[in-house]
Structure 1
Amino acid sequence: MRLSATILAQPHSGLALPAYDRSKITPGIVHLGIGAFHRAHMAVYVDDLLGEHSDWAIVGASLRRPDTKEALAPQEGLYTVAVRDAAGTHPRIIGSILDVLDANTEREDLLALLADPQIRIVSLTVTEKGYCHDPATGELDENHPDIVHDLANPSAPSSAPGMLVEALTRRRNNGIAPFAVMSCDNLPSNGATVRRIVSRFALLREEALGAWVAEEVAFPGTMVDRIVPSTTDADRAAVAELIGAEDAWPIMTEPFTQWVIEDNFPQGRPPFETVGAQLVNDVEPFERMKLRMLNGSHSSMAYLGYLAGYEYISDVMGDDNYVKLIHGLMTEEVMPTLHMEGVDLGSYRDQLLDRFRNPALQHRTWQIAMDGSQKLPQRLLGTIRDRLAANQPIDRLGLGVAAWMRYVTGVDEKGENIDVRDPLAMRMLAIAADAGDDPKALFTGLVALTEIFGSDLADNEVFASTVTRHLESLFDQGAAETVAQLVS
């Protein structure tokens, strides 16, 4: 039997159900990029508040693939969030998503909904690459194929910036106040960055439109945090056993969840603070803390762990040398770049290490390693720039960059092919092929990718010598031995 509203009417022991009548809720939010993270994070917060605030339900939209819609439509938008810890798996049915639209086949329906006055917030988790921007500068990539297409076909957009601007244009033309645009992606200063990207796209369409977007549209910043591994067939089978029904796409996650939000919603917002979110005037310090400590550590563990043969992050944390490396990375190199008055960074570090150790959360190193060209600038390179400017060493951070360079050669330490998933994969593989077995040539070729490294790091002697030294060791000694030597 498939998960559905009918299943909700049946008694279930130990299964948490929506605490409201789904027939009485209406949408106030459209979410672009309705993947696993959104369904484990924001949709859960909204589910918690719909009992008393029924006009803030979510309609999701898939911009690229219809798989989420295909999974959730037969289930009337319902799905399971299964929280895993050492004590077991704890299932909960989420009902906050009323519908999922496929932008490829239902574009006009999506645009019409975005232009409807009842929609007051448009949130996004389209990943770093979904903003069609230059990760090194945070500016719109005006030569991106999707941007070129959307500027030529403004009423039939395919990109997130194009979709937002077309919907905002329709609202402006009809005298409807703009919705707030809330990015929940791991971008540095994500609110300001998305404002810059969307305003620039609007300006390219029409000068007055660009000015209106920049002045009238709110772009609240956020910091989001919850570890969400990919769902496996074994996960689906386990959830079916727990809930007594088939769920085509349950979400597996950890107990921890955090959401910090800039309180900037001119057309109103749900009381997120009543369900555990933190509303603040300035999100950027929290965002930087999370990007550098959690995400920077995660990426370093992903590349170094994968190269050493570790499939899951919890496996990496079973290696004492890797634990020493990540503890030192956060303590010695990341935390000194953060200025968080009233926040105990040491406690946050220890909490992260405990979360990484969660044996029930099978978070693949390969999954975290995806799209590294988009992630590296904010997860590692920003911290590196700060430390270089202060004449401070970058040994551990540099090893993370070197491990990424070794990973994107597409061949692991056993000579097996690596499935490198990245927008720049073909270019990076070509650079690796030209470099052959020469680590210095590999460094020179990859650091020339200015969309990742900008124009400053290639000529920095400390950066070049540190990363090249580690890269040579990774080729000669392997990842596990390189880590062991660094922490000894």
Structure 2
Amino acid sequence: MTRLCAATLASLPATVRRPAYDRSALKPGIVHLGLGAFARGHLAEYTEDALEQRFGAWGIVGASLQRPDQRDRLQPQDGLYTLLKLAPTGPELRVIGSVLDVLVAPENPAALIARLASPETRIVSLTVTEKGYCHDPATGKLKTDHPDILHDLENPDAPSSAVGILVAGLRVRRAEGRGAFTALCCDNLPSNGHVLRGLVRDFAALTDDKLAAWIETDVAFPATMVDRIVPATTEADITEVAKLIGQDDAAPVIGEPFRQWAIEDVFVEGRPEWDKVGAQMVSEVAPFEFMKLRMLNGAHSSLAYLGYLAGHETVAEASGDPVFARFLQGLWAEIIPTVPAPQGVVLEDYAKALLSRFQNPAIRHRTWQIAMDGSQKLPQRLLGTIRERLKDGAPIDHLALGVAAWIRYVTGTDEKGGAIDVRDPLAAELKRRAEAAGSNAEALSTSLLGIEAIFGADLPGEERFSKPLAAHLASLFGKGARATAASLG
């Protein structure tokens, strides 16, 4: 079968939407660090829409920070790939043309730094996941003893971390008088623009105070809130896309029709007209970000751990189970009082829309995928809400069960005795503590609560949290996830 590329665009079926602009005239203006499925299903499609609305020099050069896989899939396709939107009514197919090239940082860090330093580059965006920022999630501060940060301080011209790469590019721009770019974080971090500013500034200050001061005053770090369910692409997805478009595509992206992007409108060298194609350019992103982080991400994580333990492979299966659907409604009832509603949003309606999205049978968003990196996600997604509820003297039964399910999950053994592939930066430490405690729920709960980087210094001593947590964990071991969730009513 023919491979998707620029030369084969014209032979695609009429049902496949393709770039409606002269792609040969497209010049790069954005460098994106971490060109995974989400970035290609979100940022790249918004940019594609903006290019069709008003053409400009806003092509995307992606950068892989670890492996060449993405480059190797996209280069033979001239950067083109299929976005398959799975609606309950049927598939929608579109070939995205906004990605022009992919660099691989470990292979040629100098080329990536040169691209960041190029006058053409006006925006550097990032989706490197929470752990990619080499920071302490509980404080938002740079981990100066992180191996990647130590490496980058020793090798400033060959950095490996996203923070080190940003500083390397900015260092060259300042030295050559080219002006700053906008650093646009698109990861699920609270106050992500503010956090990124602090990390980049503080890293620069470790070697160059003047560069740090310039970054503070000249570089823009807009806050953002991104939302779209983009499951990991499977071999079955690749086969299905090939059938639908009549060509081989090694890098398709699968996503839901829904998308949302709130962006603080602070850019130093312009931006694509994302606001004309559905993005919300706002003066304050925090209310949207906060709502999504607690209501969507908090529910996603809780459901992922419970659903996986109960044998549900996908979010749609888990949320379609009446027991877990009721659990989600109870969870949102605990979360909503802690969330100030953004302008024009009714939070109860937002919760209903989330349940509908979760239950979309066409989206195979794996519970295992969402369960990754829980030690980095819990502080933002669940523990902040728990702290507020405790302060108000309010119940936390559903929230505590979400945390207990994470603890049960990271023991590494499921309810049938099978091994769980736990992916987490603290996986070794979690495994050590779990093995030492065994299935003693109180000992296990106490041990994991003792990880201050996750739970801080306050929650371990808070009996209104630790007691229901241990009780839920004992029930998870004794009765299983579904029965435990059902017991909440």
TM-score, structure 2 length as denominator?
Answer: 0.98
Q: How does 1:286-435 map to 2 (within 5 A)?
A: 286-330=288-332, 332-340=333-341, 341-435=343-437
Match of 1:347, SS?
A: helix
Which residues in structure 2 correspond to 1:191-210 (within 5 Å)? Answer: 191-210=193-212
| 1:396 Cα deviation after fit | 0.5
Task: Please report how far the alpha carbon of residue 11 of structure 1 lies from its aligned counterpart in structure 2 after TM superposition.
Answer: 5.2
Identity %: 57
Matched-pair contact (CA < 8 Å) for 2:21–2:55: no
Q: Which runs of 5+ in 1 are unaligned?
A: none
Give the distance between the partners of 2:360 and 2:194, measured in 1 at CA: 34
Query: How far 1:86 moved relative to its partner?
Result: 1.7
Determine the C-alpha separation between the residues in 1 that align with 2:309 and 2:12.
Answer: 47
Q: Check the 8 A contact 1:43/1:97 in 2, yes or no.
A: yes
The Cα offsets for residues 84-125 of structure 1, whole Å up to 9 and x where unpaired, read as 122221110000000000011121111001001111110000
1:140 alignment partner in structure 2:
142
Deviates more, 1:145-154 or 1:202-211: 202-211
Aligned partner letter, 1:24: A
C-alpha RMSD over aligned residues: 0.9
Return the alpha-carbon distance in structure 2 between the equivalents of residues 448 and 173 of structure 1: 46
Partner deviation per Cα, 1:150-192 (whole Å, 9 max, x = no partner): 1111111000000000111111111111101110000011111
Q: Helix, strand or coil for the counterpart of 1:133?
A: coil
Shift of 1:466: 1.7
In 1, the alpha carbon distance for the partners of 2:405 and 2:217 equals 42
Say whether 1:455 aligns with 2:453: no
Whole-Å separation in 1 of the counterparts to 2:405 and 2:214: 44
> Which residue is 2:11 aligned to?
10
How far residue 21 of structure 1 moved from its aligned partner, in angstroms, is: 1.0
1:115-154 alignment, distance < 5 Å: 115-154=117-156
Q: Normalising by structure 1, what TM-score? A: 0.98
Contact 1:77 1:99 in 2 (8 A): yes
Superposition pairs of residues 228-247 of structure 1, within 5 angstroms: 228-247=230-249
Which residue number in structure 1 is paired with residue 51 of structure 2? Answer: 50
97-106 or 339-348, which deviates more: 339-348
3-state SS, counterpart of residue 117 of structure 1: coil
Residue correspondence of structure 1 range 9-88 to structure 2 within 5 A: 9-10=10-11, 12-51=13-52, 52-88=54-90
Q: Distance in 2 between matches of 1:49 and 1:218?
A: 21
Q: 1:9 Cα deviation (Å)?
A: 2.0
What is the DSSP-based 3-state SS (H/G/I as helix, E as strand, rest coil) of the residue aligned with 1:360? coil
Residue 102 of structure 1: aligned partner: 104
Q: Matches of 1:205 and 1:470 in 2, distance apart?
A: 48
Residues 215-230 of structure 1 aligned to structure 2 (within 5 Å):
215-230=217-232
The 2-side partners of 1:22 and 1:183 are apart by 26
CA contact (8 A) 2:227 2:260 kept: yes
Give the Cα–Cα distance (whole angstroms) in 1 for the partners of residues 394 and 220 of structure 2: 38
**Which residue type is aligned with residue 6 of structure 2?**
A
Letter in 2 for 1:44: E
Which stretch shifts more, 34-43 or 332-341? 332-341
Bigger shift: residues 203-212 or 129-138:
203-212
Q: Give the Cα separation in 2 of the matches to 1:353 and 1:326.
A: 8
Q: Which amino acid aligns with 1:355?
A: R
> Gapped runs of 5+ residues in structure 2?
none
**8 Å CA contact 2:12, 2:245 repeated in 1:** no
Q: Which amino acid aligns with 1:291?
A: L
Q: Which moved further from structure 2: 66-75 or 199-208?
A: 199-208
Contact 2:109 2:157 in 1 (8 A): no
What secondary structure, in the 3-state scheme, does the structure 1 residue paired with 2:101 have? strand
Whole-Å Cα distance in 1 between the matches of residues 17 and 197 of structure 2? 38
CA shift at 1:6, angstroms? Answer: 1.3
- 3-state SS, counterpart of residue 415 of structure 1: coil
Structure 1 counterpart of 2:390, one-letter code: L
CA distance in 2, matches of 1:46, 1:459: 48
Deviation at 1:197, TM superposition (A): 1.1
CA distance in 1: counterparts of 2:126 and 2:150, whole angstroms: 21
- Measure how far apart 1:342 and its partner are: 3.1
**CA contact under 8 A between 1:149 and 1:157: conserved in structure 2?**
yes
> Kindly tell me: are residues 11 and 3 of structure 1, through their superposed partners in 2, closer, same or farther at Cα, counting changes over 3 Å?
closer
Match of 2:278 in 1: 276
Contact 2:12 2:246 in 1 (8 A): no
* Paired residue secondary structure (2:487): helix
Give the SS at the match of 1:50.
helix
Deviations 1:404-454 (A, max 9, x none): 000000011111110001111011000000001211111111111111111
Cα distance between partner residues in 1 of 2:161 and 2:12: 43
Q: Which amino acid aligns with 1:336?
A: P
**Which secondary structure does the structure 2 equivalent of 1:3 belong to?**
coil
SS in 2 for 1:134: coil
Residue type matched to 1:75 in 2? Q
